[in-house]
Amino acid sequence: MAILSKIRTFLTAKIAPRFDSLAARLIAAAAVWTILGLVVGGLVLSDIFSDAVKGDFDARLKFDLDGMIAAAEPDPAGGVSLRGRFTDPRFERIYSGWYWQITPADAHSGEMQISRSLWDKTLRIADARAAATGLVWGSGEGPDGQHLRMVERRIEFPILATRNPNDARAYTFLVAGNAAQLETEVARFNTMLFWSFLVLGLGLIAAIFVQVRVGLIPLRRLSRALARIRDGSERKLVGHYPAELAPLAAELNSLIAHSAEVVGRARGHVSNLAHFLKTPLTVLSSEAEQQDGALSDSVRRQVTTMRRQVDHYLARARAAGALDVLGNRTQVKPVLDDLARVLSRIHAERAIAIDVDCPSGLAFRGERQDLEEMAGNLIDNACKWAHSRVGVTASRDGAMLTLIVGDDGAGLDAEERAQVGERGERLDESVPGFGLGLSIVRDIAKLYGGNFELGDSALGGLEARLTLPAIA
């Protein structure tokens, strides 16, 4: 079931999802969009706040400029004087960052007046930008290297001494404020905004992580259910699944049932075919036994060969079909105990002792019939060649189980083991059988992804070592 294996691998997710998992993709995509949204939102809020602070600062400058112009009093000679009419503590403290300055348009027509905060310095506006309201905005350097934001307006005052309404003298009124206050407020806001959005972003990502993990719980339940089917503890998907997964679970159950039905039908056909072939072969063999001559000998040999081939391919077809059925699980100890009891009776006249050592929890990932076929051939073969004792040991090593069958017979040398194990040849025709048992064991073991080999037994004879997939 390669399809189900791929589905199970796709659905499997750990607490810390892999980068190629569905959970990781959902979390990463949501996190990227969350971070992008927070970054863009932070930049927009920072610009809005910066513009708001700058607008408020400019409004304060304009308010001070209007107040200073309103407080200015022309004298009869055409000059202007504030004379305490415009008082603000900010403009009194030396180098406070807030300054005003009144400059006559004609340098010879009056003296420049400055705020006390300027002391003996003067200001010059740079980057001037005239507004439609008659104001000129700009920036410049103030005392002590301060970066100032400035606004100025040109005002004409009448010369009262001439009594001519057309006689007037122009002055430029200028108010400046320390732009560092703007930068400080914006920086403070940006810092607060950064940490706030950082905490918010981490909280959102954590919430996304929890949401994705909780949302994918049904997928993990489905994965565990598939694993239970795979190890044989369940035959189908059970439990309630969300509306999005319910059709998938139903289709998987249908697929599992259909697979079992197809495999069972195919195995039935193979068994029927073998039965139909064995009956004519038995008739031919019986007829040949009653006749003498070269023809009857040839028929007997061919019938024996055909029986061996039928048994061989029947066993292979049965094992190959079992591989495609989910949920196969076989306890090893009951099978070995049953085989030992039956074979002890079969070889009772030779008093063969069969010792079985197998833990009770050991399980084979496959059908009982296939395990009986392999273990039965090995134990029966050992009983045929043993003097008095056969040892059967089963153990688990990781994901595999190892079945060792040894006897105290004469054993085989390396060349003989190769003939028997690799080519399935019989070395002694005096023992009943077709000589195909070990070859069948090897073929079935390979179909299950296992291994089979022969060696020397600790009992003194031949040892057969069979490795098969196990289930926890």
pLDDT per position as a tens digit, 365-407: 888 888 888 898 899 988 988 888 999 999 988 888 999 999 9
> What angle, rounded to 10 degrees, do the helices at 217-230 and 2-11 form?
140
User: What is residue 245's three-state secondary structure?
Assistant: coil
pLDDT score of 46: 92
**Interval 320-370: pLDDT, tens:** 555 545 557 788 999 999 999 989 888 888 888 889 999 988 888 888 888
Q: Which of 177, 181, 61 is nearest to 118 (CA)?
A: 177
pLDDT score of 393: 92
Mean pLDDT to the nearest integer, 214-225:
83
**Interval 35-46: pLDDT, tens:** 999 999 999 999
pLDDT score of 44: 94
Q: pTM here?
A: 0.51
In the predicted structure, residue 306 carries a pLDDT above the cut 80: no
pLDDT score of 435: 47
Tell me the C-alpha distance between 103 and 136, whole Å: 14
pLDDT higher at 283 or 122: 122
User: What is residue 332's three-state secondary structure?
Assistant: helix
Mean pLDDT to the nearest integer, 185-207:
92
In the predicted structure, residue 213 carries a pLDDT above the cut 50: yes
Tell me the C-alpha distance between 414 and 74, whole Å: 128
pLDDT higher at 214 or 414: 214
> Buried b / exposed e across 223-239, counting CB within 10 Å, b at 16+?
bebbebbbbbebebbee
Instruction: For residue 30, give both structure tokens.
Output: 């949501």
Tell me the C-alpha distance between 124 and 91, whole Å: 17
DSSP string, 42-107: HHHHHHHHHHHHHHHHHHHHHHHHHHHHHH-EE-TTS-EE-TTSS--GGGTSTT-SEEEEEEESST
Do 408 and 388 contact (CB within 8 A), yes or no? yes
Tell me the C-alpha distance between 156 and 166, whole Å: 11
pLDDT score of 76: 67
**Confidence at 313, pLDDT banded by 50, 70, 90:** low
Tell me the C-alpha distance between 176 and 113, whole Å: 14
Instruction: For residue 413, give both structure tokens.
Output: 């040398």
Domain ranges within the chain, ordered by starting residue: 72-178, 328-472
Stretch among 182-186, 226-230, 435-439 having the lowest mean pLDDT: 435-439
Q: What is the mean pLDDT of the chain?
A: 80
pLDDT higher at 147 or 295: 147
In the predicted structure, residue 423 carries a pLDDT above the cut 50: no
Q: Which helix (H) or strand (E) holds 395?
A: strand 389-397
**Interval 248-304: pLDDT, tens:** 888 888 887 787 777 677 766 666 776 667 677 777 777 777 777 777 777 777 777
**Confidence at 48, pLDDT banded by 50, 70, 90:** very high
pLDDT score of 199: 94
Q: How many CB atoms lie within 10 A of CB 376?
A: 18
pLDDT score of 19: 63
DSSP string, 188-237: HHHHHHHHHHHHHHHHHHHHHHHHHHHHTHHHHHHHHHHHHHHTTS-SS-
Do 412 and 390 contact (CB within 8 A), yes or no? no
Do 266 and 321 contact (CB within 8 A), yes or no? yes
In the predicted structure, residue 421 carries a pLDDT above the cut 70: no
**Interval 158-194: pLDDT, tens:** 766 566 666 677 888 999 999 888 888 899 999 999 9
Domain 328-472 is of which CATH architecture?
A: 2-Layer Sandwich (3.30)
**Confidence at 72, pLDDT banded by 50, 70, 90:** confident
Percentage of the chain beyond pLDDT 90 is: 18
Tell me the C-alpha distance between 354 and 391, whole Å: 6
Q: How many CB atoms lie within 10 A of CB 251?
A: 11
pLDDT score of 15: 44
In the predicted structure, residue 114 carries a pLDDT above the cut 70: yes
Instruction: For residue 156, give both structure tokens.
Output: 């004409």
In the predicted structure, residue 316 carries a pLDDT above the cut 70: no
